[in-house]
Amino acid sequence: MDKNSKIYLAGHQGLVGSALERHLRTRGYNNLLTRRFDELDLRRQDAVEEFFQQFQPEYVFLAAAKVGGMWANYLRPGEFIYDNILIQSNVLEAARKYAVKKLLFLGSSCIYPKFAPQPIKEENLLQGELEPSNQAYAIAKIAGIAMCQAYRAQYGCNFIAIMPNNLYGPGDNFHPENGHVLPAMINKFHQAMLTRSPQLYLWGTGTPRREFLYVDDLATACYFLMKHYDEADIINVGSGEEYSISELAAMVAAIVGYQGEIIWDSSKPDGTPRKLLDASRINALGWHSRVSLWEGLKVTYDWYLKNL
């Protein structure tokens, strides 16, 4: 993949896609293909095939997906499994049909079992039951992994699949119900500060532990793997930093400036008790995350204030 290669960024307006576009453009890649949802609905096979036939992309970053937090996954599991299976199936098939040189598929750490050994290794996939709250989304992503591997085995397609952990950063979805835990928390703390609320309620017990990866770190990993990784096996991408949800809440409160009381609603689900990825494989190849959670949170909150 060189500076003149024709590169399709599927999902360029999303959290990951926008970070990828920033990273590629700063490196001098300007022959980028992008389409908004209203211009190209990736759920429509005919539209996807027409796009690939017309523009003949050489490389594809498949970051397009229907994503959301625990509550969104709980309320709309049918949408999450239907939309994601259609999006990835249509893009992967068109990439095969029109001889894309290489494709990178973005998976998710939710593909791993709820009680997987920690830190989670790539071989732990399908070794236990999934977390029920986002099972539909996880099954869709597992299907995408299987499709990448099947197309490699049958057709010789150079499709790779990477598994990042919990992502955050500029361009995130800060909706209190549809967003993931970190951006939703930023929004909630900010609103509580504005209204001078003396108390703030958060879901669960605060005890689950999570690893967070700054999205621009992920963008560097995607670029690195597109250049240096060509294997069928999935590969984890993580920061190696792990925090409890209560520790995360304290950090967000400090950055936002909220000084009220945090009350944990234990009647609400916690989700997976712990989720830390083993990133030793990508680290051994030469990639490491660089942005700490505190640093990334400050940048993310600044973006939130300027844009939302």
Active site residues: 137
Query: Is position 17 annotated in a ligand binding site?
Result: yes
Residues near 139 by beta carbon (within 8 Å), at least 6 away in sequence:
81, 130
Query: Is position 178 annotated in a ligand binding site?
Result: no
Rounded Cα–Cα distance for residues 131 and 107 (Å):
16
Q: What sign does the dihedral 142-42-73-191 (CA atoms) show?
A: positive
Query: Is position 166 annotated in a ligand binding site?
Result: yes
DSSP letter for 177, please. T
Distances (CA, A) of 2 to 6, 11, 101: 9, 21, 12
Residue type, 158: N
Query: Is position 12 annotated in a ligand binding site?
Result: yes
Query: Is position 182 annotated in a ligand binding site?
Result: no
Query: Is position 292 annotated in a ligand binding site?
Result: no
Query: Is position 290 annotated in a ligand binding site?
Result: no
Query: Is position 180 annotated in a ligand binding site?
Result: yes
Instruction: Report the relative pairing of strands 242-244 and 209-214 from DSSP bridges.
Output: antiparallel
Query: Is position 101 annotated in a ligand binding site?
Result: no
Q: Please tell me the number of Cα atoms within 13 Å of 181 on its side-chain side.
A: 25
Query: Is position 209 annotated in a ligand binding site?
Result: no
Query: Is position 200 annotated in a ligand binding site?
Result: no
Residues near 230 by beta carbon (within 8 Å), at least 6 away in sequence:
102, 158, 160
Query: Is position 210 annotated in a ligand binding site?
Result: yes
Rounded Cα–Cα distance for residues 66 and 79 (Å):
8
Rounded Cα–Cα distance for residues 75 and 152 (Å):
35
48 backbone φψ class: left, alpha, beta (φ>0; ψ -120 to 50): alpha
Query: Is position 91 annotated in a ligand binding site?
Result: no
Query: Is position 181 annotated in a ligand binding site?
Result: no
Helix count and strand count (H, E) for the chain: 10, 12
Encoding tokens for residue 63?
A: 């970051």
Query: Is position 30 annotated in a ligand binding site?
Result: no
The annotated binding site for NADP(+) is made up of 11-17, 106-109, 141, 164-167, 180
The annotated binding site for substrate is made up of 188, 203, 210, 270
The annotated binding site is made up of 11-17, 106-109, 141, 164-167, 180, 188, 203, 210, 270
